Amino acid sequence: MDEKYAINLEHVTRIYKRDEFEIRALDDITLRIPSAHFVAIMGPSGSGKTTVLNLIAGIDHATSGRVSVGDEEITGMKERDLAGWRARHIGLVFQFYNLIPVLTAFENVELPLLLTNLRKAERRDHVETALKVVGLADRMDHYPRQLSGGQEQRVAIARAIVTDPTIVVADEPTGDLDAKSAEEILSLLTELNRQFHKTIVMVTHDPRAERFVDTVYRLDKGVLVGVEPGKAARGASAADARA
Amino acid sequence: MKYTGFVFKSMFRSRRRTILTVLSIAVSLFTFSALVSLPAVANQILADSASGLRVACHSKAGVTYSLPEAYKQRIAVTPHVEAVAAQSWFGGIYHEVTDQFPNLAVDAEEAEVMWPDWGVSEEAWKRFRSLRTACLVGPATRSRFGFHVGQQIMLRGAIYPFNLTLNIVGVMGGKAPPNFMIFRRDYLREAAGQPGFVDTYWIRVDRTENVAQVIASLDEQFSNSSSPTRSESEAAFYGGFLQSSRTMFQLMEILGFIVVVTIGLVAANTAAMSIRERRGEIAVMRSMGFPSRTILALLLAESLLIGLAGGVLGCGAAYLVLKFLWVEAPTIVGLGAIRMPPSILAETIVIAALIGIFSAYVPARSAARRNIVDALRVVA
């Protein structure tokens, strides 16, 4: 694998079987995402965006082809190994936040750290730092029902980054939010990318996302139909040129 | 330990459901432990009170038939017999008809040798021998009626057509049946007009290995008399009283297990519902990297705690109720107190744990192994 790429999908096909039907969600896709890039995967419903994300996150298996993340090929990993790998390398953000309702913001963010060997005090430090990064240090004792949608998504982002993963994958992170909250979440993800050099892969329908990302990968019917620089990248190039 | 808080919080996510589940397990285990305690206690009482050296000799026709007083001398000279004490059932009641307890007349001179394991002090035995109206009471009867040493009481005859006035000179303990009262047989004989009959002879044998020989010898000795005898060990004698209750005890045990199985199924249904509602959360946790076995362990721990809470509650309630009954109605066929033995306590707690684990195992295992993508799709 080429080391400059954080994520490398080579000739990946994913076929789902639903009763007697075979659904080809991805058809021979080859896709490379460089390290520390913020990328969006866009396309109409059923184009295979979430399938790509699931393969990168190691929660789904390719029917054929190779998926490599960092310097590890995860295609052939067993579920037990994949679980450990996900805990170390992947932070997941979902459209509907998927926070545990009986846990406070603090406890939700702490959850992935329970898989580590960190002591309680160390876990507390990590959680407080993550919540500070997303601007919710003052809400750590709140339960999800006591937070707005945007705040819940921020907690979900804190939970995704608290273990300091290599890659953050976000599935429609603004899909359930109003315009203002969506902008804030996109800005936050951009900040994580710029400040902490996280590789962020985001699936979205939101056209506003193009302004924030480095690259847009367009899918249609399971096929990669285009790779375009995002407006953020174009803006950065212009700024570089001016400099 | 780091998952303790998570398990407790998950357990109380639906407080009402958890409380109702705990209560249903508690009620079923209350029923189970109370039902199963009765036969266990009966067996325990036999084991506790019976001596390997004592033999009961009664009429072959049954324990309600009498034997001639003259047998005592013949029994006493039988090889390996150390002592013989005659016993007659008075069956008196204290105040009301419900105030019944086993009261027996025994030979005063032989009583101490016959029942040295009944925890009676030497001084009390001495007073028992010296006072014709003396009686000794077991601890359950004493606490039931508030008796104390020095108190004079009157027993109303229910079988005999007269009342007896007795003076309490001591309290029995040790292996004595806790609800027994014994008094002197010479007092009963005199009041009854020297009838010349006794209900049972208690025989103390010199060594346990000679018990069988003594039993055979006694029954052979009286086999051609007008009152043939049937001799048996003390455990077998008391066991005979319980025989009529055996079927009921078996029914109780079966009912107890049916209740447990039923509540196990109800708990399984509740656990399945609870876990089903959390499939999305479980999928999210697995996507974070929680291994299936950790998820399974967390779900089982939660269910185990619910089961144990129900077990402790049900078992504790049964223990207290039986303890209360021990004071208020302390007999099983006149032999002893109804108390929950430690073995039943332990058994009930283990069953509670098993209900907890097995009720959740199948849905928990299924949820922990479910395909993450499929589970997340359900949430979305």
Q: What is the ipTM of this complex?
A: 0.89
Q: For residue B46, what pLDDT band results from cuts at 50, 70 and 90? A: low
**How many Å apart are CA B205 and CA B187, to the nearest integer?**
27
Q: What are phi and psi of A32, to 5 degrees?
A: -125, 135
Evaluated on CA atoms A102, A108, A114, A117, the torsion sign reads negative
pLDDT of residue B203: 95
CA–CA min distance A172, chain B (Å): 11
Q: To the nearest whole number, what is the mean pLDDT of chain A? A: 89
| A94-109 residue pLDDT tens | 988 899 999 999 999 9
CA–CA min distance A70, chain B (Å): 17
Q: Tokens for A232?
A: 């953020």
Q: For residue B256, what pLDDT band results from cuts at 50, 70 and 90? A: confident
Contact between chains at B6 and A83 (C-beta distance less than 8 A): no
pLDDT of residue B231: 94
**How many Å apart are CA B311 and CA B356, to the nearest integer?**
10
Q: Which residues of B touch A86 (CB under 8 A)?
A: 287-289
pLDDT of residue B228: 94
Nearest residue of B to residue A104 by CA position?
B9
Q: How many CB pairs below 8 A link A and B? A: 68
pLDDT of residue A54: 94
Which among B2, B284, B289 is the nearest to A83, CB-wise?
Answer: B289
Of A119, A121, A198, A102, nearest to A158 by C-alpha is: A198
Torsion angle (degrees, nearest 10) of CA B25, B27, B28, B29: 80
Contact between chains at B373 and A90 (C-beta distance less than 8 A): no
Which among B13, B288, B372 is the nearest to A87, CB-wise?
Answer: B288
Q: Which residues of B touch A (CB under 8 A)?
A: 2-3, 5-6, 9-10, 12-13, 280-281, 284-292, 294, 372-373, 376, 379-380
Helix (H) or strand (E) holding B152: strand B152-155
Q: For residue B56, what pLDDT band results from cuts at 50, 70 and 90? A: very high
Stated pTM of the model: 0.72
Q: For residue B244, what pLDDT band results from cuts at 50, 70 and 90? A: low
**8 Å CB contact between A185 and A134:** no
pLDDT of residue A99: 94
Q: Which residues of A touch B (CB under 8 A)?
A: 54, 57, 59-60, 79-80, 83-88, 90, 92, 94-96, 98, 100-103, 107, 111-112, 114-115, 120, 159
pLDDT of residue B36: 82
